[in-house]
Amino acid sequence: MHLTFRQIQVFAAVARHQSFTRASLELHLSQPAVSMQIKQMEEQVGLPLFEQVGRKIYLTEAGRELAHYSSTITQQLDEAAQVINDLKGLAGGHLHIAVATTGAYIAPYLLATFARLHPQLTVSMDVTNRQTLLQQLADNEVDLAIMGQPPEDLALDASAFLDNPLVVIAPLEHPLSGNSRIALRDLAEYAFIIREAGSGTRSATERFFSKAGVTLQTSMEMSSHEAIKHAVRAGMGLGIASLHTIREELTAGHLTILDVEGFPIQRHWYLVHRQGKRLSSAAQAFRDFLLHQEVASLLP
């Protein structure tokens, strides 16, 4: 086989997205150009790499084998590029970071200060849910990630850099508003709006109440803190949110924090990357920035 690196890049993108359209968008190529590269690869290999079932495409057995090797090749070339960038220093470097949705309330302030310290760098930030973020780390698509509690079953290097307290939020007119030392069992009388399954906030909440032997009434699931805040303001129920996500609402008087025993639930923000990953100069500089500075002072 005589495959070009460009063909391997195109194949890896199509395999990852299971879509010619999304691969073409990622690579800034036309869809016919992507299809042509795959056709030429299949001619070189002598076997089909994809099969179409309905509107979806899937890897064939040969495609799955080639996907394994193409992932290794692209990862090694990415690391080679990082080594070259390290030799050049930070000038012209690029930082690609993924941020859990809740982290979008803090990451811009941290990156803004970092960018002022290193104006020669360019930064890309993806805001996504926990599941997608973990997949990006597994696929080596990002340099670093900011998230809540990392999973223990993945080979990740995680460093805590900031407290992330979870609090119970309510509209100002709620019957419990203004009460002191509210018992956990009293919360069982009220409906809660919670994050979707798999969310770090939801997992921490469920562990806390399960340990306390209290069962919450859940009236609705929502996929973002923004949606939960609006639903709580509308009187649809109580919510549990990171303190970092509600500062504007507290200042404006739209929401209040209930004084509940055992709260806040103490969590942390973590800076995460794959174990064994060679960090670029830009990524290492950002890691040093977060771990050797009082980052809380950078937040509003």
pLDDT above 60 for 87: no
34-62 mean pLDDT: 92
Strands 156-163 and 166-170: unpaired
The per-type count for the chain, helices as H runs and strands as E runs, is 11, 12
- CATH number for the region 166-257 comes to 3.40.190.10
125: nearest Cα among 102, 148, 149, 100: 100
Predicted confidence at residue 289, as pLDDT, reads 93
- What's the CA gap between 15 and 41, in Å, rounded? 13
The pLDDT tens digits of the residues spanning 241-272 come to 999 999 999 999 999 999 999 999 999 999 99
- Residue ranges of E strands in 50-113: 50-53, 56-59, 94-100
Q: Is 166-257 the same fold as 90-163+268-298?
A: yes
- What's the CA gap between 208 and 228, in Å, rounded? 19
| pLDDT-derived band at 86, boundaries 50, 70, 90 | low
174: nearest Cα among 257, 244, 230, 251: 257
Strands 94-100 and 144-147: parallel
The pLDDT tens digits of the residues spanning 132-169 come to 999 999 888 899 999 998 988 888 999 999 999 999 99
Predicted confidence at residue 290, as pLDDT, reads 94
Question: What architecture is domain 5-84?
Answer: Orthogonal Bundle (1.10)
| pLDDT-derived band at 94, boundaries 50, 70, 90 | confident
Sole residue written with tokens 């979008």: 104
Predicted confidence at residue 88, as pLDDT, reads 58
Q: For 290, how many CA atoms within 13 A lie in the half-sphere containing its CB? A: 25
Predicted confidence at residue 216, as pLDDT, reads 87
Q: What are the distances in angstroms from CA 262 to CA 25, 199, 222, 238? A: 48, 21, 24, 16
41: nearest Cα among 80, 77, 78, 13: 13
Domain ranges of the chain: 5-84, 90-163+268-298, 166-257
CATH fold of 90-163+268-298 = D-Maltodextrin-Binding Protein; domain 2 (3.40.190)
Q: What are the distances in angstroms from CA 112 to CA 116, 238, 289? A: 6, 33, 12
| pLDDT-derived band at 40, boundaries 50, 70, 90 | very high
- What's the CA gap between 293 and 182, in Å, rounded? 36
